[in-house]
Amino acid sequence: MDKLIIKGGNRLSGTLPISGAKNSALTLIPCALLTEEPVTLRNLPRLADIDGFQHLMTQFGVAHSIPGKRPEEFGRVVTQEATRITSNVAPYDLVRKMRASILVLGPLLARTGEATVSLPGGCAIGNRPIDLHLKALEALGAEIELAEGYVKARAPAAGLPGGEYDFPIVSVGATENAVMAAVLAKGTSRIGNAAREPEIVDLCRLLVAMGAKIEGIGSSELVIRGVKKLYGATYKVMADRIEAGSYACAAAITGGEVFLEGANGEEMDATTNALRAIGVEVEAQEDGVHVRANGPLKGVDLSTAPYPGLATDMQAQLMSLLTKAGGTSVLTETIFENRYMHVPELRRMGADIEVSGRTAIVKGVDRLTGAEVMATDLRASMSLIIAALAAAGETQVRRIYHLDRGYERLEEKLALVGADIERVGDD
């Protein structure tokens, strides 16, 4: 198992390319199940989660082709073709490591009339039940049964009739599953209190390119008029707003200046607003986002919320940045109840953080010091990298397989802008 060795103190400076969004790509990939024709995704990040999801798609009989591309380039182009679905079962061995696997439930149900999907796994950041996925699909006409660790879903013989469902709380994954199921339903469906994240917009845009009829894209109410057939399409995955925000924090904590090439400033407004409040200069440009730390960092109060609020996936990275800010900051995590597992590791590096329930109080310190630390989940892993870049001495970050799930060739990108970072085998 590999680890990262980081020698802190280098100021990050230069251009840093932003990859395609992991959270979007994991939603776009299963769209190939909805049509017999080829679906080509451009700007697909090279990540462990992407590889795992494509392996799952192979289980259903989906063929993949990847045209030649230089390995030193970021991203790739992948064409998927589900001419015939050979299986509608997603087994435990393929699903257990990745929560996003539940997103095959809606498209399999819509295309084949039935689906059997193992209850999913993923990062241990709290209780993330799939009951909203199931209730939404039931509202569209599906029959759902839970048995022996599997979700078994069936549509009526004539196919899903469509229906209406108002989510009691906003759920990104459940909205995605419902949308993918509804596009091939016999009638019109309405989804209320739908998630509005840019990744949902990306999904809807691909489906429309495939022939779906969706109204209200980007709003909290989606109206989907089912069609008999979807077609192939070629589509570019949106830039990863969480990766961009993470590298913005990395630049800021080192007093650096970077250009996040390809980032979409409009899609990361909540993050850029938080950075500006902390004292970081952020300028959205046509082809990316310019970030510059010029002056002292200031403590702030931040709270995560569904989009357009501050993404829970940015909480850990901003916490690391605030360990070096003047005064006291208060972070409130409203989405997941167990997302402060990085705090003990940051304390090992000299951070002053106290946690009470869903609230973390961060008192800025003059100095962080290198230490051996253990990554606990994907975004927590990145928070440790950010802290290490500003810490005196050497930091060793273990269990970095979490990082490989969500950050494409992280050490290479950070080295491009001046970080002293190396991946080595962990004996």
Which residues sit in the known binding site for phosphoenolpyruvate? 22-23
Distance CA 56, CA 225 (A): 29
Q: Which of 31, 123, 204, 249 is catalytic?
A: 123
C-alpha distances out from residue 211 to 80, 226, 229, Å: 17, 10, 8
Which amino acid is residue 57, in one-letter code? M
User: What residue ranges in 33-155 does DSSP mark as E strands?
Assistant: 39-44, 63-65, 76-81, 89-90, 114-118, 143-147, 150-154
- 46, 408 Cβ separation under 8 angstroms: yes
Which amino acid is residue 160, in one-letter code? L
- Active site annotation includes 123: yes
Which amino acid is residue 207, in one-letter code? L
| CB environment 153-179: b (16+ within 10 A), e (fewer) | bbbeeebbbbbebebeebbbbbbbbbb
- Candidates 394, 387, 395; CA nearest to 342 is 387
Structure tokens at 90: 């997603």
| CB environment 229-256: b (16+ within 10 A), e (fewer) | ebebbebbbbbbbbbbbbbbbbbbbbbb
Distance CA 212, CA 193 (A): 20
- 400, 414 Cβ separation under 8 angstroms: no
- Going by the DSSP 8-state scheme, the letter that residue 269 receives in this structure is H
| CB environment 182-206: b (16+ within 10 A), e (fewer) | bbbbbebbbbebbbbbbbbbbbbbb
Distance CA 28, CA 41 (A): 8
- Candidates 378, 377, 376; CA nearest to 407 is 378
**Which ranges of 309-419 does DSSP label H, i.e. alpha helix?**
315-322, 343-348, 378-390, 401-406, 410-416
Q: Is the peptide bond before 308 cis (omega within 30 degrees of 0)?
A: yes
Dihedral sign, Cα of residue 322, residue 327, residue 333, residue 338: positive
Binding residues for UDP-N-acetyl-alpha-D-glucosamine: 99, 128-132, 313, 335
Binding residues: 22-23, 99, 128-132, 313, 335
| Residues tagged active-site | 123
